[in-house]
Chain A
């Protein structure tokens, strides 16, 4: 159904002269898709560090992994992911290795 028999040059649709190479239009950073998993990771990371819940830190690590997996362009996402990762790891370290918090019962 498409332009049939285009071996005959007469109706060959191709016009090499009009060929334009692909130009990647740069999309402005602010209207990029928002990286929700990075954001959730930071939330859990901070919670993990503040309330010393191991679960929060582990969940933060998981969401960090997700936002690493979905990372499209590197500059903007990397900042957020590395921050989230730092919070999560800090939460884990303080939870496992740091001194026990003086429990305020």
Chain B
């Protein structure tokens, strides 16, 4: 509150002991307002030390508001308040410790019990907030850059898999797009089976002290989510998701396409399956079995592998019925380790290109496909019906409204107005029934 202090420095209206500063204090504020007392014409002028520059004598009228604060003069050792000053019954609200900004020359600080706790607390909080803003911002940037260097730089995994990296269009385009202080986006494109990939890193808002304190109570972690936009011909009818048990239950209930098309898949007997704490949601057991391949089990999702490599795993969700513009998408969601241990998530990130290829090459068997065809048809019809009756409802509502409006108009019009309206109505009907006579203008 810098500007606050200088302004008050100049505009030091405290009447009691004018330091030389106020002697020639320019009155920047032309106070047209009659009630606000001209700060110079202070009543309580302390005769010995201050040659009273203002000429006017203390005005007896109690209506004129003297800028004089009774509280400020409590327990004043030296001055004995001169009698002629009208006693202002009250002026400073006792609970509002009116005080000067702390850096202004405080003529009366020593004497009056002015507490500046509010200013000090808020001022220091603001300073700490500013410092934390810059350190938090740099910390977030470091994490994002560490990820980019590990996975998106020269001959890294994304460089080997995508021909165009980064958010710009040229080849030296910036790798990351910064949205706010804690959201970073990375785009990669130019690969078979998919149109592109968008990675969004949502980090904790370290730059904001208040949310940092909030996060002490409500924990949240850094997350990265990959959205792979598949080509239309590259993805078959597929609704599939893997997540931790609790998250999977929530996803099954909340996410529309999982809710309508897919259900929980129990681990099939007779073959290796995902780790204990994971749950698989799929449209059909067969699809789940095909997508959980040996390699994936042995690398990431198997029991042993998951302990070592899977700690950052949150969820994967492949579907060709995704809401929104792009229907066929693969979604990967991982937790981000801190800046210098990015290597831990190499295998998780390696899942992305692996699954793009797997899903791109995967074709449903005929009967599986027929089943999915039927369910999609059913769901599509349902959606269509829903849309239709929604439209009819809207129509009916509009008609009802219009009728209501008409009635209101009628009731407002007086009786004779209605008569006149009816007469006009009848005339219009009559004219309409008259034989039509065609007239053309002379060219």
Query: Which residues of A come within 8 Å of B, CB atoms?
Result: 1-3, 6, 13-22, 24, 37, 52-55, 58-59, 61-63, 65-66, 69-72, 92-93, 95-103, 105
Contact = CB atoms under 8 A, between A and B. Distances in A.
B160 A6 contact: yes
A55 B120 CA distance: 11
B154 to A, nearest CB: 14
A72 B209 CA distance: 17
Contact of B190 (A19, A37, A71, A97): A19
B91 interface: yes
B167 interface: yes
A21 B165 CA distance: 9
Interface stretch (B16-24, B92-100, B240-248): B92-100
Interface stretch (B6-14, B216-224, B411-419): B6-14
Interface in B110-168: 118-119, 122, 125-126, 129-130, 133, 157, 160-164, 166-168
Interface of B: 1, 4, 7-8, 11, 13, 33, 35-37, 65, 67, 69, 90-93, 96, 98, 100-101, 118-119, 122, 125-126, 129-130, 133, 157, 160-164, 166-169, 173, 177, 179-181, 183, 185, 187, 189-192, 195-196, 198, 205, 207-211, 295, 299, 347, 350, 353-354, 356-357
Contact of B126 (A65, A95, A97): A65
Contacts of B164: 16, 19-21
A1 B118 contact: no
A96 B290 CA distance: 72
A39 to B, nearest CB: 14
Contact of B4 (A2, A65, A72, A96): A96
29 contacts: A2-B353, A2-B354, A3-B160, A3-B161, A14-B190, A15-B191, A16-B163, A16-B164, A20-B196, A21-B168, A22-B196, A52-B96, A55-B118, A62-B126, A63-B210, A65-B130, A66-B209, A69-B129, A69-B208, A93-B7, A97-B11, A97-B13, A99-B33, A99-B37, A99-B65, A99-B67, A101-B93, A103-B90, A103-B93
B98 to A, nearest CB: 7
A15 B181 contact: no
B425 to A, nearest CB: 43
A66 B214 CA distance: 13
A100 B65 CA distance: 9
A2 B13 CA distance: 75
Q: Which one of A54, A96, A102 has the highest number of Cβ atoms from chain B below 10 Å of its Cβ?
A: A96
B126 A92 contact: no
A42 B406 CA distance: 42
B161 A14 contact: yes
A18 B192 contact: yes
Nearest to B94: A103
Nearest to A20: B189
Contacts of B209: 66
B96 A70 contact: no
Contacts of A95: 96, 98
Contacts of B295: 1
A62 B129 contact: yes
A16 B175 CA distance: 17
B204 to A, nearest CB: 13
Contacts of B191: 13-15, 18
A101 B88 CA distance: 13
A20 to B, nearest CB: 5
A21 to B, nearest CB: 4
Given A16-B164, A22-B167, A71-B180, A2 B350 contact: yes
